[in-house]
Each structure stands twice: as structure tokens, then as C-alpha cells.
Structure 1
Amino acid sequence: NGAAMFFGKQPERKFPHAVTRCVLFKGTTKVYIIDDKTFGGPLYQQYLQAMAWLESKLQVAYKIEGAGPREEIWEIPLTVFKEAIINALSHRDYYEQGATITIEMFDDRVEVSNPGGLLPIVAKDFGHKSMTRNPLIFGLFTRMHLVERVASGIPRMQEAMKEANLPEPEFHTDGMFTVVFKRKYSVTSDTVNDTVNDTVNEKEQEVLNLLRQQPGLNATEIAQKLGKSIPTIKRYLSSLSKSDLIEFRGAPKTGGYFLKNNVVIK
């Protein structure tokens, strides 16, 4: 079974529950769903897709010093999600057919859950001992260097959150194993959003200044004028649109971006 899930093209045909579901909620409860994606396929593919989904939702700031490459500063270190997702794929109870691995994002936290609580021997010394239900899967991830030392995942997640000045992850082990990561900035807080934007807007400000001088430019034109890649510019434009600072007008192929009428650039 482990080999089929790791190497099979569509293992979910035989194991419908062996998928990873990613859900974005509005607010701090499970009432309003904004985005809901389910990823199947080989387990490594699920890992990559889940990480890509998280990166598309999390806040990121950029630090540029001198002429060197910019440094990405994620609101929650990506390394903790790598650890949590690999742990979930490696240790979940694949015989539990009523649940899947889930990644749930709220305004104030991100939760990663997998079916199956801790094995008794692990529960007695949580964070220091490790025993997997799926040694083949765990072994394959180890050979891919996605897992380092045995029983080192929990301490690494705790250390990464501490280094980012975030609360330590919370662990819930009844029935489902869930790890909770608190977000640095609650997206519902205008004051905190201003703090996020202060760190990001150095680059976004260039886009705003350009659109003030030359309204109606599209993403390709902005990228050319600012000397940045199109994906980077699209990320800036998406952030500025979500912040209600700019809007796209016209047809998709011929339209362009404009400052919102209520936006004043100092």
C-alpha cells in the first residue's frame, strides 16, 4: 500500500481517503469557506501542491540589502509547514477511511491535521520519541532528505516559530493529530495589516507611483518598466488589489490597472 501511494499515478482511486485537502476560511471559525482544494496523486506530489497552496495564501515580506538577492520573510516560516505536512503524510492512519489530511487556514492561525492520534509509546515521550505507522513511506521521505533525524521534527518546528518571534506550535493528539501555528498578523486587523504593508510596500510603492504617472498599464508593461519578473509584479498587483488600492479596468487582454479613486499617494 505504501508503495502504491508513493509511486502510483492516482492512488486515490484505490484509497479515496489518501488525499490532502486545503481549506481557507473567512474569519476564525469554519463557517465561511473562501477556497477549498483537494490534492491527490503520489504523496510527494501532494506535499508539493500543499506547499504551493500555502505559499499562495500566506503573507510575505521582502528584505533587500545592497545588490544581493532579496530575502523572503514569511509570516510563518515555511519550514514548519514542510515538517508538518511530511509528518502528516508519513504518520497518518491510512486505514482510517473517514478522514483525510487537512490544512485549514484561518485569519489567526493555520492548522495541519492527520487521522490517527499518537501511538502509545510516542505519547509517553512526545517530541523526543518517534514511531511511524508507515515505515516505508517515512523511509522514502528520509531518502529524499525531506526528513532529517528521527524525532527531530517537533523540536525543529518549535525552534523555527521561536526564531520568528511567534508562539510555539500547539499540538492536539485526540483522535486526529493536529498542529496549530498562530499567524503573526491577523488579516482582520487593520492596524496589523498596516504593519504588514509597511514591510511590503517598499516594492509595491514603486507600482503605485508608476500607475499614478502612467495609469492603465498591464502587468507585462509594469514588469518591463520596473525591471522585475511578471510573476513578481502579478504578486504585487494581487496584494494591492486585495488592499483596495488599485483596480483592473477593461477586457482581460486589453485592459490595465488604475489607482482607486480614494487612493492618495504622498
Structure 2
Amino acid sequence: MPESRAQIMQRLQAEGLVVRNPAASWDVTNLGAILFAKRLDDFPHLRRKAVRVIAYTDNSRINTLREQVGNKGYASGFEGLIGFVNNLVPSNEVIGKALRRTVPMYPELAVRELVANALIHQDFTVGGAGPMIEIFADRMEISNPGVPLVDVDRFLDTPPRSRNEALASLMRRFGICEERGSGVDKVVHETEFYQLPAPEFAIAIDSTRASLFAHRSLSQMDKRDRIRACYLHACLRYVSRDYMSNTSLRERFGIAPQNSAMASRYIKEAVEQGVIRPYDELAGRKYMKYVPHWA
């Protein structure tokens, strides 16, 4: 930690957070403001980049339950933002071997990673729009301005390319986001661990949207849900230098061993859709392994 005020200001200048002005004083840069502002409203050109959190009463946007616009910088307000979101998310009661405990509907680690990604990878040149977190009865949607620089189907395995490298670097150093990678592997792992529907990544008009879904039984998932889950499961296994198999997919969906035919049917759906392929087409059915279509 620098000892004097002058040394502190020099360090902040080196990080691009402040600059000298003609009056020999200091001005806060856009980077310093978006990270550490107490009130983003004090910076008119950054006001629309504040995070909006909207909770709805049901699965549509018709009836708003609560709406809040975060006014702090991304770094100084991140923990408060995550806490606020988690307080709005419904909880599930889980009964363990001895204790009954309440857990959020969505894994906190998954929420943290997706919110951090939305802040870091947004396109600041898109006017009149900022990061937004929408909470519905059955899902959470996290969106940011700008289309991604990599294909949404390759979020899990492709190193991220950020438009805002200085912002990303500082937020990584603050421990807010992943040092390497996009954190999407953690998101997929968390949804698999809690046997939630697979997350969905999509491009809308000038924006990117990531969706987390509330728990649904396997019988409640439609074909699209199952294919997406198979694909992301194969991706997660592949980046771990492993392969998807009937056994691994049964574990992902919580299918009993005697119902292996059900897992085989879901794998067939994904193969026919072209999102996964056999690793070795000559392998016996019992030993068949699968990889993403791009592997």
C-alpha cells in the first residue's frame, strides 16, 4: 500500500483510474467511475450503464414486483448487487440426513459468474442500454448490451475476448470474476450439480442474454431443454479431457441405471440435432462415447 497521498494518486494514475488535469489536480476517468463511483448518477454519460434489477410476479414481464437501479460502481457495488439479487430469488428447502436447510433457487456461484460476465463483456458504445437482471417465477435472465465476440455455442471452451480489457483485468484482480476463461464452465457445472435445466445463451438485437432456469423434473423438460443439456454436458466433459457417455448423462439427469434406454434416447436426439457426435463410431454400443460437434 503506498504510504503518501501522492503515491496513492500515482498508483491510481498508473491503473488508468485518474488523470492529471490542466489545473494540476486530478480527474476521475470513465474506468475509475464505472468501477468505484458512489453515485453513477453523478456521471451523466455513465448513468445508463448502471445495473437494473427487475423482479416479476410470474413468468411474463406484465406485472413488476420490484425494480431497482444500482447506483454504485461495478467493483464497489458488486457484493451488494449479488446479495440484493439473491434476496429476490425464491428459495428451496432441502432436507439432508439430519438438517433441513434453505438454499437459493439458483446457485450463487452461477449467478456471480454470469453477472460479472455481463458487466465485463458489455459494449459501452451501445447507447441507452446497460446490464439488466430480470427475475421471473421460473427463470433468471441476465443481459448486457452488445453481441459477443465469440460464438455463443463456444462460450464454454473458447477463451473470452473482451472489449473492455482494462475493466476485465481490474475486476479479475479484485476477485470478482475468473482469472482465465469466462466462468461458463463453472455455471454449467453448478447447474449439473444441482440437476437444474441447462443454462441458455442467446443473442438478441444488439445484446447478449444468459438464462438460468428453476428446477424442473426431467419429465417436465422438453426436447429443446434435453438437447441443450446434452450439448453442454458434452462440452463440460470435453474441456475436462473426458467424454460424455450413457453413464455420465444418467448421472447428470439423475436417471436410474435400469433406465439407461432413456439416456440413450436423449443422446440420439442430440446426435440427430447435430450438436454432439460419437467419438469413435466403430465402438460397441456399450462403450460409445460422445464429444461436441466441433471437437
The alignment's TM-score, normalised by the length of structure 1, stands at 0.62
Deviation of 1:72 (Å):
4.9
Alignment of structure 1 residues 85-104 onto 2, 5 Å:
85-104=115-134
> Is 1:126 aligned to 2:161, yes or no?
no
Asked if structure 1 preserves the Cα contact closer than 8 Å seen for 2:58 and 2:136, the reply is yes
User: Match of 2:38?
Assistant: 9
Change over 3 Å in CA distance of 1:22–1:150 after alignment to 2: same
Equivalent residue number for residue 167 of structure 2:
137
Q: 2:211 aligns with which of 173, 176, 180?
A: 180
Deviations 1:236-257 (A, max 9, x none): xxxxxxxxxxxxxxxxxxxxxx
Per-residue deviation, residues 82-121 of structure 1 (Å, max 9, x unmatched): 00111111111122222121111111111001111102x5
Correspondence for 1:156 among 186, 191, 198: 186
Which among 134, 147, 158 is matched to residue 117 of structure 1? 147
Distance in structure 2 (CA, Å) of the matches to 1:64 and 1:162: 19
How far apart are 1:10 and its partner, in Å?
A: 2.2
Q: CA RMSD in A?
A: 2.4
| Mapping 1:190-209, distance limit 5 Å | none
Give the one of 69, 81, 86 matched to 1:38: 69
Which secondary structure state, in structure 2, belongs to the residue aligned with residue 24 of structure 1?
Answer: strand
Asked if 1 retains the 8 angstrom alpha-carbon contact of 2:131 and 2:144, the reply is yes
Q: Structure 1 CA distance, aligned partners of 2:198 and 2:154? A: 18
Where structure 1 has 5 or more consecutive residues not aligned to the other structure, the ranges are 187-266
For residues 49-91 of structure 1, the C-alpha deviation after alignment (integer angstroms, 9 at most, x for no partner) is 3212222122333656669xx8652221111110011111111
Match of 1:165 in 2: 195
Q: Distance in 1 between matches of 2:35 and 2:164?
A: 11
In 2, the alpha carbon distance for the partners of 1:54 and 1:167 equals: 20
Q: In 1, Cα distance between the equivalents of 2:65 and 2:138?
A: 15
Greater RCO (CA < 8 Å, at least 6 residues apart) = 1
Q: Once structures 1 and 2 are overlaid, which stretch shifts more, 23-32 or 8-17?
A: 8-17
Paired with 1:107 and 1:185, the residues of 2 have a C-alpha distance of 12
Contact kept, 8 Å, 2:152 with 2:202, in 1: the verdict is: no
Q: Separation in 2 of the partners of 1:20 and 1:143?
A: 21
What's 1:238 paired with?
Answer: none
State the secondary structure of the residue aligned to 1:167: coil
Partners of 2:42 and 2:86 in 1: how far apart? 28
Shift of 1:171: 0.4
TM-superposed deviation, 1:21: 0.7
Task: For 1:138 and 1:30, locate their aligned partners in 2 and report how far apart those are by CA, in whole Å.
Answer: 31
- Say if 2:78 is the partner of 1:47: yes
The count of aligned residue pairs is 183
Which has the larger displacement, 51-60 or 101-110? 51-60
8 Å contact kept, 2:196–2:216: no
